[in-house]
Amino acid sequence: MVFDSISETGHEQISYFSDPETGLTAIVAIHDTSLGPSLGGTRIRDYESEEAALTDVLRLSEAMTYKAAATDLPLGGGKAVIIGDPEEVKTEAALEAYGRAVDCLAGRYITSVDINSGAEEMDIVARETDHVVGGTDGLGNPSEVTAHGVFSGIRACAEHTHGTSTVSDLDVVVQGLGKVGRLLAEELLEHGASVTISDVNQEAVDEFSAAYDVDVVAPDAVYEEPCDVFAPCAIGGVVNDETIDQLQCDIVAGSANNVLKERRHADALAERDILYAPDYVINAGGLVTVGKEYLGGTYEEAYEESEKIGDRLSEMIERAEADDSTVLDAAEAYAQERIDESDTVTPALPSN
């Protein structure tokens, strides 16, 4: 199954790590290092099966390749998953074992934060390897930069579909009030947008709606809620055969990874004249932040850099129109051109 997966996706390396003493079970997928060492977060999740974990890490690492290339970063794409209930597997011993696993990859993979792994976990991983960013001594939580990048992308999409460079006349449905979704909703409200929120966590919904003037829609009705922009900021795969026909929006643009269940759903959205902002383009602010930390830079520079996400997305929209293709096609072409034109090898790690 693993070799078939490599053949289908073009991954350079898939590494399995097991440490029975600590209970660590992890997979690290390195998709492409043409532009530089692969960088991507470590997701800790209780997957249904090993196959499900492999599928997830392969999709995520491939997306990181395109995300880095489409953001003009000298980095490649990688991702890691630690398999198990986070409440049980996030022990110091297991995270130290994971750090040793990352270290044995000799800098081909740089790890960082992701779902169920934050700065504190990265600090523990860093006890055993230098190939880690996103710890407490780093640039800080990238959520604000990610949210601002998504906001900039929504403005770019609105300029194309509604002829306005502001969001003040937009109705936006934000699905998911996690770290990024909440910040995105706040920035949209600050700039005059009408916001509707939805989350499976009722406590988060109650807290946000008590603080801000927003509408609320139930999770099972969120896709059919009329709006200008549907912003998925929670789980992936929410645009699929079941939900596409329910959507009543002009734009799909949010922070969630792998928004499309399958690639063909980009074409399905286009057939309904719904503009889709590729997730790995619009949500690249997090990568920009940890990239700045790894390559050298400041949080303020990362925030300013996230403004360019809207400009880059506008170029891809224009290219898609010129080529009579989807924006996803245009984004992939842009990223692939950067990868193909690169004559570099993986650079040495910056000295600490």
Contacts 24+ apart (CB under 8 A), 111-115: 111/39, 111/40, 111/41, 111/42, 111/80, 112/39, 112/40, 112/41, 112/42, 112/290, 113/41, 113/42, 113/142, 113/290, 114/40, 114/41, 114/42, 114/43, 114/44, 114/79, 115/41, 115/43, 115/44, 115/45
What per-residue confidence (pLDDT) applies to 344? 46
- Condensed to tens digits (0 to 9), the pLDDT of residues 251-310 reads 999 999 889 999 999 999 999 999 999 999 999 999 999 999 999 999 999 999 999 999
What per-residue confidence (pLDDT) applies to 2? 67
**Are the C-beta atoms of 103 and 128 separated by less than 8 Å?**
yes
Number of H helices, E strands in the chain: 14, 11
**H helices present in the chain, as ranges:** 2-9, 50-70, 86-89, 92-103, 119-125, 143-162, 179-190, 202-211, 264-271, 279-282, 285-295, 299-306, 308-323, 327-341
Domains of the chain: 2-65+74-126 (3.40.50.10860), 142-285+293-337 (3.40.50.720)
| Catalytically active residues, by annotation | 79
Mean per-residue pLDDT pooled into runs of 10, the chain (352 residues): 69 96 97 96 96 93 94 96 97 98 97 92 97 92 93 97 92 96 98 98 97 97 98 95 97 95 96 97 95 94 94 96 97 94 53 42
Burial of residue 7 (number of CB atoms within 10 Å: 0-12, 13-18, 19+): exposed
What per-residue confidence (pLDDT) applies to 165? 83
Report phi then psi at 16, rounded to 5.
-100, 135
- Condensed to tens digits (0 to 9), the pLDDT of residues 22-33 reads 999 999 999 999
What per-residue confidence (pLDDT) applies to 125? 98
Q: How far apart are CA 128 and CA 28, in angstroms?
A: 16
